[in-house]
Amino acid sequence: MEIVFTKHANEKFEILKKHNVSITRQKVIEVLNHPYLRDHSRNPLIIAQGILDFLHVIRIVYRIQQNKIIVITFYPGRRSQYEKK
């Protein structure tokens, strides 16, 4: 399935870089293709989650439209916040 980044999602790479958080387009695509968690509770939006490092996850907000994955935004988060048992 084709992956399309919105204008905001494309700008997010630079925004995060200014905060010394380096997330690559390849990492976003990798998590979209192989998330370890997928949250459908905000239908029609979906959140894919993957591991960034020992303390952090990446969360990617997207929707599926006309057989395309539309990446709306993504953000890092603390694993302790998003991996509650």
pLDDT class of 85 with cuts at 50, 70, 90: low
Rounded Cα distance, 85 and 53, in Å: 19
Q: Which residue has the tokens 């370890």?
A: 36
Asked whether 44 and 72 are in contact (CB, 8 A), the reply is no
Residue 79 has pLDDT above 70, yes or no: yes
pLDDT at 83: 80
pLDDT at 76: 97
The yes/no answer on whether domain 2-80 falls in CATH 3.30.2310 is: yes
Q: What is the pTM of this model?
A: 0.92
Q: Among 2-6, 44-48, 81-85, which stretch is predicted with the lowest mean pLDDT?
A: 81-85
Domain ranges of the chain: 2-80
Rounded Cα distance, 31 and 3, in Å: 12
Rg (CA), the chain: 12
pLDDT at 68: 97
